[in-house]
C-alpha cells in the first residue's frame, strides 16, 4: 500500500505551523486588545526589537502561504494525483518513482487557467465508422411555418400525444388462439426452441373479408342479373416475432368464377343453368415468411447486424401497385433492406431477388386454346425501390423461361420496368411507369405474345383538402402486346389502375373498358371525395382509342371506347361496409356496355 504525500500536503503543513505560532504569541496579549489604539501601544511597549521582527515574519509567511495555495488550487484536475520523486513504502512493497510533469502552472487559454487534463475540456465526437462529419449548409434549413389565420391551440397540440383512446367494437378475427391478436400489457415469455434471442410464441389468427354482391351486368352480347359471394380467408400461424406461415384461401371462387345465383339475363340460358356452387380449398397462397437475421441470432445466441427478409412457398408478389406483378407462384424471394448511399444521395433503398418454377400465370405463356399454362414456365428477377432526391423510384427486371421446348415454339422473353413518383410545385403528384417486353422469338412462324412497351402516367392534384378531395388524370399508351411479368387470372389487366372504368369487380364480371392496353392509348379523368373521411364518392370519365388496326388478337376493343362511371361506399360500422358501382360504356363497332351493382362487405 503506497502512502503518497503531494506538494499540497506540504503547503497545508507549513500554513498550519505558521499560524499556530502566531496565535500562541498573540493570545498572550488579548487582555490588552480592547480597541484599535492599543495595537500600536502593545506592539511598541511589550515587544523588543527581536520579538517585533519575529512577529512580522510570522504574519508575512502565513500570508504568502495562503496566496500560493490559492493559485495552485486552480490547476487541480479530476485526474489521479501525480506521484512525487520520493514515495514512502508500507508492507514491504516495491518502491516506484514518477516525475510530476504537471508541476508548473499552465498558461491561460481562452480566458481560463487549466491544463491538458482540465475536466471541462471538449472530448472528440464519438461515432460509428460508417458515419462522418458534414459541413453546415444554411440553404438546407428554412423558417418555421407561420399560420397567420390559425391561432396556436394548446389543447389541440396536447391531443396529439395525450388524446389517444381505445377504439371499441372493432372487428375481431374469427380465430384468435391462444390469445387475442392485439392485447395490452406484458405478452409473457416465449419458448426456447429456436434460441433465447428468437423465442417461439405460437399463435393462430384467421382473418379476412366476405363479399356479398348483387349486380346487373350488360356486357353487350351477354347480360346477367345475379347474386354472388366471395370469401378471402387468411390463416396466419405465427411462430416468433418475425416468422410465420400464411395460408390464403378463396373457397367460393375459382379461375374468375364465383358461387352465384342468376335470376335474369341470357347468360343463364347460354349455360343451361342459373346456379353454380363452387367450393375450392386449393390454397391461393401457402408460404413461409421470416427474417434471416433473427433466425441466425436465435441459433447462434449472438445479435446479428443485418436484416434479410425471406419467403418461400406458394407466395404472392405485388410490385408497382400490381402493374408489373400481381400473382402467386411457387418459388422464393429475399430482400436487402434499408440501404443508403451518401455518395449517390440515396436515403433509402431495398432490393428484392425472386424466382419461381410453378403456378406462374402470364399471358405470354398460353396453351393451344389460348388459356393460361401455369405449369410450363419459370421466372427469376430482381426489383428495387429507391428514395432519391425527393423522388421514389421503382425498377425491375424479370426473365420468363418457356420450359415446353416443343413444336409450339419458345416464348421465353425479358421483362423490364421503371417508375418514378414525385411531387411538383407542391400541387401535383405524378407517377410515370414504363414496362418493356423484349427478346421473344417463338420461331416456327408463330406470333409473339409478349412484345412492345407500355407507358402509364398517373397525376393527382393536391387541393386545399389534400386528404379528402383528390382530382386525378391518368393516361397510358401501349405498343404491341405488352404483358405484366405475372398476373393472376382474376387480377384484371395491366391498365386497371388507370381508372375505375378499366376495373372489374372480381366477383360478378362487372363491365369494363378494354384493359389489355394492346396497341391502344387512352386515359381517365375523375375526382374522388371522402367527405369527413366517413364515406367516399368517385366520378370518372374514361376512354381509349386503338393504334393501328381495329382488330388485334388479344384486345377486346374493335374501335373507340368511352365510359362514364361512379363509385360510392359508406361504412355502416367498423365491421360492415356498403358499396355501389355503376357505369355506362359506348363502344365503336360493338354493343354498348352498362352495369350497376350493390355490395355488402364484412371484415373480420
| Mean pLDDT across 169-191 | 87
For residues 238 and 349, give the distance between their C-alpha atoms in angstroms, rounded to a whole number: 28
Does 75 map to a domain? yes
Structure confidence by residue, pLDDT tens digits, 6-45:
444 454 455 555 555 554 544 554 444 444 454 455 455 5
CB 207 within 8 A of CB 249: no
389 is a domain residue: no
Q: Is residue 38 part of a domain?
A: yes
Of 578, 573, 580, nearest to 596 by C-alpha is: 580
Q: Which residues contact 389 (CB under 8 A, 6 or more apart)?
A: 345
Residue 150 in domain: no
Taking 80 as the threshold, does the pLDDT of residue 550 lie above it?
Answer: yes
Q: What pLDDT is attached to residue 53?
A: 61
Query: In 3-state terms, what secondary structure has residue 302?
Result: coil
Distances (CA, A) of 269 to 133, 222, 273, 278: 76, 10, 7, 19
Higher pLDDT, 170 or 56: 170
CA proximity to 7, closest of 93, 90, 102, 115: 102
Question: Average pLDDT for residues 122-141, to the nearest whole number?
Answer: 83
- Per DSSP, the three-state class of 18 is helix
Q: How far apart are CA 100 and CA 114, in angstroms?
A: 16
**What are the beta bridge partners of residue 290?**
310
For residue 208, the 8-state DSSP code is: E
**Domain span at 49:** 2-89
pLDDT band at 168 (very low <50, low <70, confident <90, very high): confident
Contacts (Cβ under 8 Å, ≥6 apart) of 519: 478, 479, 480, 481, 546, 547, 548, 549, 552, 555
The pLDDT tens digits of the residues spanning 67-115 come to 554 544 444 444 444 444 444 444 444 444 444 444 455 555 554 555 5
**Which residues are 350's β-sheet partners?**
385
Q: How far apart are CA 604 and CA 208, in angstroms?
A: 5
Domain for residue 55, yes or no? yes
* Residue 492, domain member (yes or no): no
Q: Check residue 194 and give its pLDDT.
A: 94
pTM for the complete prediction? 0.74
Residue 11 within any structural domain of the chain = yes
User: Is position 34 within any domain?
Assistant: yes
Provide DSSP, 117-133. Answer: T-TTPPPPPP--TT---
Checking if the pLDDT of 602 tops 70, the result is yes
**Percent of the chain whose predicted confidence (pLDDT) is above 90:** 60
Q: What is the DSSP letter of 145?
A: P
Cα–Cα dist 409/561, whole Å:
34
Residue 518 has which C-alpha cell? Answer: 394492346
Q: What is the structure's pLDDT at 188?
A: 79
Choose between 381 and 63: higher pLDDT.
381
Distance CA 163, CA 485 (A): 46
Span 568-582, pLDDT tens digits: 999 999 999 999 999
Label the pairing between strands 561-571 and 520-529.
unpaired
Q: Is omega for the bond preceding 178 within 30 degrees of 0, making it cis?
A: yes
The overall average pLDDT reported for the chain is 84
For 445-490, write each residue's pLDDT tens digit. 888 999 999 999 999 999 999 999 999 999 999 999 999 999 998 8
Give 162-175 as a DSSP string. H---PPPS----SE
Inter-residue contact 487 to 363 (CB < 8 Å): yes
Q: How many C-beta atoms lie closer than 10 Å to residue 115's C-beta?
A: 17
Structural domain count of the chain: 1
Query: For residue 412, how far is the Cα from the chain centroid?
Result: 35
Find how far residue 368's CA is from the centre of its chain.
44
Amino acid at each position: 500500500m503506497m502512502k503518497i504525500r503531494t506538494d499540497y500536503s506540504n503547503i497545508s503543513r507549513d500554513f498550519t505551523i505558521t499560524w499556530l505560532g502566531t496565535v500562541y504569541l498573540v493570545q498572550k496579549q488579548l487582555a490588552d486588545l480592547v480597541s484599535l489604539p492599543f495595537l500600536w501601544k502593545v506592539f511598541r511597549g511589550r515587544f523588543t526589537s527581536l520579538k517585533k521582527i519575529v512577529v512580522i515574519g510570522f504574519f508575512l509567511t502565513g500570508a504568502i502561504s495562503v496566496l500560493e495555495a490559492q493559485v495552485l488550487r486552480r490547476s487541480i484536475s479530476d485526474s489521479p494525483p501525480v506521484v512525487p520523486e520520493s514515495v514512502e513504502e508500507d508492507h514491504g512493497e516495491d518502491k516506484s518513482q514518477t516525475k510530476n510533469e504537471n508541476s508548473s502552472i499552465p498558461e491561460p487559454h481562452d480566458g481560463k487557467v487549466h491544463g491538458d487534463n482540465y475536466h471541462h475540456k471538449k472530448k472528440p465526437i464519438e461515432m460509428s465508422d460508417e458515419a462522418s462529419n458534414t459541413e453546415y449548409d444554411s440553404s438546407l434549413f428554412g423558417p418555421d411555418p407561420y399560420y397567420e389565420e390559425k391561432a396556436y391551440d394548446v389543447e389541440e397540440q396536447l391531443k396529439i400525444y395525450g388524446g389517444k383512446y381505445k377504439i371499441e367494437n372493432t372487428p375481431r378475427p374469427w380465430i384468435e388462439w391462444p390469445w387475442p391478436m392485439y392485447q395490452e400489457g406484458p405478452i409473457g415469455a416465449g419458448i426456447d426452441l429456436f434460441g433465447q434471442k428468437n423465442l417461439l410464441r405460437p399463435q393462430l389468427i384467421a382473418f379476412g373479408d366476405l363479399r356479398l354482391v348483387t349486380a346487373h351486368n350488360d356486357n353487350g352480347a351477354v347480360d346477367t342479373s345475379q347474386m354472388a359471394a366471395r370469401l378471402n380467408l387468411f390463416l396466419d400461424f405465427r411462430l416468433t416475432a418475425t416468422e410465420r406461415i400464411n395460408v390464403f384461401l378463396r373457397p367460393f371462387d375459382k379461375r374468375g368464377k364465383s358461387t352465384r345465383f342468376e335470376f335474369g339475363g341470357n347468360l343463364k340460358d347460354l349455360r343451361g343453368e342459373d346456379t353454380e356452387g363452387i367450393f375450392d380449398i386449393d390454397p391461393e397462397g401457402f408460404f413461409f415468411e421470416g427474417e434471416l437475421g433473427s433466425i441466425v441470432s436465435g441459433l447462434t445466441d449472438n445479435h446479428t447486424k443485418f436484416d434479410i427478409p425471406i419467403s418461400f412457398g406458394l407466395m404472392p408478389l405485388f410490385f408497382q401497385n400490381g402493374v408489373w406483378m400481381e400473382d402467386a407462384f411457387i418459388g422464393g424471394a429475399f430482400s436487402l433492406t434499408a440501404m443508403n448511399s451518401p455518395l449517390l444521395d440515396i436515403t433509402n433503398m431495398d432490393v428484392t431477388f425472386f424466382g419461381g418454377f410453378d403456378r406462374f400465370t402470364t399471358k405470354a405463356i398460353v396453351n393451344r386454346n389460348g388459356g393460361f399454362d401455369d405449369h410450363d414456365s419459370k421466372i427469376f428477377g430482381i426489383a428495387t425501390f429507391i428514395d432519391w432526391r425527393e423522388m421514389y423510384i421503382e425498377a425491375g427486371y424479370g426473365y420468363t423461361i418457356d420450359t415446353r421446348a416443343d413444336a409450339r415454339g419458345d416464348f421465353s422473353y425479358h421483362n423490364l420496368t421503371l417508375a418514378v413518383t414525385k411531387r411538383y410545385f407542391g400541387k401535383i403528384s405524378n407517377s410515370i411507369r414504363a414496362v418493356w417486353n423484349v427478346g421473344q422469338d417463338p420461331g416456327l412462324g408463330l406470333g409473339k405474345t409478349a412484345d412492345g412497351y407500355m407507358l402509364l402516367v398517373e397525376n393527382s392534384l393536391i387541393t386545399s383538402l389534400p386528404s379528402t378531395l383528390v382530382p386525378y388524370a391518368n393516361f397510358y399508351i401501349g405498343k404491341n402486346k405488352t404483358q405484366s411479368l405475372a398476373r393472376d387470372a382474376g387480377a384484371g389487366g395491366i391498365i386497371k389502375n388507370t381508372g375505375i372504368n378499366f376495373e372489374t369487380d372480381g366477383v360478378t364480371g362487372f363491365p369494363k373498358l378494354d384493359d389489355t392496353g394492346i396497341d391502344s392509348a387512352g386515359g381517365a379523368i375523375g375526382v374522388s371525395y371522402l367527405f369527413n373521411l366517413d364515406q367516399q364518392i368517385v366520378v370518372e370519365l374514361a376512354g381509349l382509342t386503338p393504334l393501328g388496326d381495329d382488330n388485334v388478337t388479344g384486345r377486346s376493343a374493335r374501335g373507340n371506347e368511352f365510359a362514364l362511371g361512379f363509385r360510392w361506399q359508406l361504412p355502416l360500422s367498423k365491421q360492415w361496409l356498403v358499396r355501389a358501382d355503376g357505369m355506362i360504356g359506348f363502344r365503336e363497332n360493338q354493343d354498348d356496355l352498362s352495369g350497376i351493382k350493390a355490395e355488402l362487405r364484412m371484415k373480420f
